[in-house]
Chains A and B, each alone.
Chain A
Amino acid sequence: MNLDAWLSPEVSLDQCIKCNICVSYCPVAEVTDLFPGPKYAGPQAQRFRMAEQPTPDLSVDYCSGCRVCNEVCPNDVSIMEMNAKARAALVAEKGIPLRNRLLGRNELLGKVGSYAPHLANFALHNPISRIAADALFGIAKEAPLPRWSTTGTFVDWWEKHYPHRRISDKKVVYFHGCATMYYEPFIGVAAVLVLEHMGYELIVPPQNCCGLPLLSNGEFKAAGKLYDNNLRKLGPLATEGYDIVGTSTSCTLTLKEEAPHLLGRHDETAEALTHAVWDIFEWIREHEDELPRDFVSIEMVIPYHPPCQYRAHRVGRPAMDVLELIPGVEVHESRARCCGIAGTYGYKKEKYDIAMKVGEELFSFILAEEEHHHTEYNACDSETCRWQIEHGAGQDSRHPIEILAAAYGLYDLETRTAKTA
């Protein structure tokens, strides 16, 4: 019997037995009355959502998309996907606020800022601008917005590295995403160092934003353009059989599944792309036998928070699996549901407080770890989550790939730069 046919979001609502396990674990419904909980906004409201008719319930906009509901649902109902589609319908009806258009255009913002990053950082981060952005656009003035890299973009670094890159028969494609490109090029540096140390030659093809910020703000049409562009650029590599790894759990998820599902792209190239894309730790775990064991001596406790996107990847917690292979490294999982930021959710003025309350269980875990184990860093695979953790708990956060690169002695965790041999 083909269960998958039953489990498209629309059909899977019939699997819902209204047991309320999702409501019991929903971190958003726990802290606000504005979101009634996944069961009500999802399978229950879904019965009243008809094509061509107005959306009956606006509260679905308060779903952060963390997918705790999907994870705990014993009946495999695609609750969050139902909500995402309902939000898109809402956007189609009501129009998109300028703020959400801005937040959806992460790549454009990144590119513009990178021409004059010092100026851009000043322009964005000075208190007056933040108050103005709060009042004019509804971008919460306290929210942890990123800073542009002042040492060049990732591709600037890659071009310098290119002549010295490892040449090998084993090749793998790297998808850096916008955050690594414009804000955190060092994440890409760490990824390149580790993958080359594993004996691979890197291919960094032209690429653009995966489209997730637009998707999560309900702008499906604009997101479709970005996805199709990537399909043109990456599709041929995927069809040739190259694996494409990414360090941003949200970008890899979008390329793999979110974009083709939500946008309805199911042709052969899209299928090939889906199957070619891996989250970097999912890929490393799969290639565990190629992982060198020449770790330098490193003694550390790492409080680790698996980002919500892993719930959608449904690959378990691969970064934990890999980090636990490093002698001397003790990984303590947060067991917290969500940091609260949920992509661009926590940037929004009306949602900032909710996001901070949701993140509270994670922040207090990080602080307790710091107190008991004198930890200097915590780790999380997703960039916006790291920024939120740093904002909420006041401790530096690192991508697990940085930890792994440091464990090989290739990378300095403090300065976030490659160590020269």
Chain B
Amino acid sequence: MTELLVIGAGLTGLMAAIAAARQGARTRIIATGMGSLLWTPGTIGVLGYLPGEDEPVQSPFDALDALRQRRPRHPFALLDAQTLRQSLDAFRELVQSLGLPYRGAEDGRNLLLPSPVGAPRPVFLAPAGQVDGHMGRPEPYLIVGFQALRDFYPTLIAENLTKLGLKARAEFLPIDLITRRRDFSPIDLARELDAADLSRLTNALKRVAKPGERIGLPAILGLKRHAAILATLREALDAPIFEIPTLPPSAPGMRLAEALRAHFELDLRGRMDLGLRAIDFRAENGKVAWVSTRASARPVRHWAQRFLLATGGILGGGIVGDPTGQVEEVIFHLPLNDAPQDRKQWFHRDFMGPTGHRIFLGGVRVNEAFQPVDAEGGVAYENLWAAGGLLADSDPIAERSLEGVAIATAFRAVQRMSEVTP
């Protein structure tokens, strides 16, 4: 029998499943689809903004106390700084071993990386291919785009970087350096580069780059051969090369998702089944017995000793709203804390204001063992844990804490569940 059933295949679900499988638990992941990692830039934010503040956080660990003061039930308030650090170290070790190294600033401060429009993004850890975009570095930027590549405008990025007081300029290269296809996404380009001889691209870059510049490219530098492509370009141009994430689909997000999935399925012999939307469950004697998923003729029941809910918030699909504005947690119908409960509460005068939106702040409340609690504060089900984006009292988008919350809470939930015998 499955010892741990993880519901959700985003960063939370994958990290939790990997941690459990590494401890020897027979672990299975079920999910509606590929997780939301493919929507993300593949970077790891821990804390980029404190609630209500416009200025980015310099150093997440120094700002934890302030965060806990403002949000006493924030997921980071349910674990100590050492656990947070441990979980991030574990993540770094893991991705390093998978050939997808991540780095942060030496002094524990956030990196400030350019977004797809050239705005600063506070990030704690970034794929090695993105770190050289850090705004704290001295080299002037050369942002290189490709004609006909949608949603990546080097001129706009360079203009916005210049407005921030940084030195930046833009160049366009012809797309046929990479592909002759009629239509393509960043993922297609990455696949083409996986198979390509890079000399045409490096020669073209040499022609436009000036000595001393660092070169920012859209995040298309390969999927399977990313590290080799990056090394080849860096060597050929003798300059820092970095990727700027694109709008979805995101190659850095896909690299991370696929690396974690392959590790789970191949190295740890775990099972991950997609296309299975959880719709119902059965509880007996205060324990979850099974979760069922929608299927062709009859729902499939997934029995397990333990269950970990990692379905995400409103974006991941763990929380849904109906046309009347009511929201609910989709599987166990757990009480949602602070989420809007009718249509009126969805609106706010201050569009994109620093207080964020209630739908992101609301979520499932858990105790310090990361077990969902009911309205009275008691453990909802003895063998149910929850982690990641669906947790209450954190606004992971506004705080830029989405991935940090995913990694730390997945780590902690698995740690706590292994302290009790099933």
Contact = CB atoms under 8 A, between A and B. Distances in A.
Contact of B296 (A30, A71, A253): A253
Nearest to B247: A20
Contacts of A20: 185, 187, 248-249
B182 interface: yes
Interface of A: 1, 3-4, 19-21, 23-25, 30, 33, 36, 67, 70-76, 253, 256-257, 274-275, 277-278, 311-317, 320, 333, 335
B275 A74 contact: no
Contacts of A70: 275
Nearest to B326: A1
Contacts of B265: 333, 335
B183 A33 contact: yes
B397 to A, nearest CB: 15
B53 interface: no
Contacts of A311: 275
B181 interface: yes
A248 to B, nearest CB: 14
B109 interface: no
A316 B301 CA distance: 11
A316 B191 contact: no
Nearest to A32: B181
Given A74-B34, A313-B296, 6 more contacts: A3-B320, A20-B187, A21-B248, A30-B188, A71-B274, A316-B271
Nearest to A278: B297
A23 B191 CA distance: 13
Nearest to B300: A315
A275 B300 CA distance: 12
Given A21-B38, A71-B33, A74-B316, A277 B273 contact: no
B294 interface: yes
B92 interface: no
A30 B192 CA distance: 10
Interface string B19-42: 000000000001011111011000
Interface string B167-186: 00000000000000111010
Contacts of B295: 313-315
B276 interface: yes
B298 interface: yes
Chain B interface mostly = loop
Nearest to A314: B295
A312 B185 CA distance: 27
A1 B185 contact: no
B297 A277 contact: yes
Given A24-B38, A74-B317, A333-B265, A315 B296 contact: yes
Interface string B66-103: 00000000000000000000000000000000000000
Contacts of B32: 73-76
A317 B270 CA distance: 13
Given A71-B33, A72-B33, A335-B265, A23 B297 contact: no
Nearest to A313: B296
A253 B277 CA distance: 18
A253 B300 CA distance: 15
B162 to A, nearest CB: 30
Contacts of B371: none
Interface in B243-260: 248-249, 254
Contacts, number: 99
B34 A72 contact: yes
Contacts of B188: 30
B34 A314 contact: no
Which of A4, A314, A317 has the most CB atoms of chain B within a 10 A radius of its CB? A314
A21 B322 contact: no
12 contacts: A19-B249, A21-B249, A23-B187, A72-B34, A72-B275, A74-B32, A74-B316, A314-B300, A315-B296, A316-B273, A317-B273, A333-B265
Nearest to B316: A74
Given A76-B32, A314-B276, A257 B297 contact: yes
Contact of B33 (A1, A74, A315): A74
A23 B249 contact: yes
B39 A19 contact: yes
B328 interface: yes
Contacts of A256: 296-297
B249 A76 contact: no
Nearest to B327: A1
Contact of A75 (B30, B33, B262): B33
Contacts of B271: 316-317, 320
Nearest to B248: A19
B22 to A, nearest CB: 20
Nearest to B36: A74
A2 B223 CA distance: 39
A23 B30 CA distance: 21
Contacts of B277: 76
B293 interface: yes
A275 B328 CA distance: 30
Question: Among the interface residues A20, A30, A75, A333, which one has the most CB atoms of the partner chain B within 10 A?
Answer: A20
Nearest to B293: A314
A21 B183 contact: no
Contact of B294 (A73, A274, A275, A314): A314
Contacts of B294: 4, 314
B300 A316 contact: yes
Contact of A74 (B35, B185, B262): B35
B276 A316 contact: yes
Contacts of B185: 20, 23-24
Interface in B310-334: 316-317, 320, 322, 326, 328, 330
Contacts of B279: 3
A313 B273 CA distance: 12
A21 B296 CA distance: 23
A36 B262 CA distance: 28
A259 to B, nearest CB: 11
Contacts of A312: 296
A189 B254 CA distance: 44
A23 B39 CA distance: 13
9 nearest A-B pairs in the assembled complex, by CB-CB distance: A71-B275, A74-B33, A314-B295, A24-B249, A257-B296, A316-B273, A20-B249, A72-B34, A24-B187
Contacts of A313: 295-296
Contacts of B183: 33, 36
Contacts of A320: 271
Contacts of A24: 38, 185, 187, 249, 254
Contacts of B300: 314-316
A301 to B, nearest CB: 14
A274 B297 contact: yes
B307 to A, nearest CB: 16
Contacts of A19: 38-39, 248-249
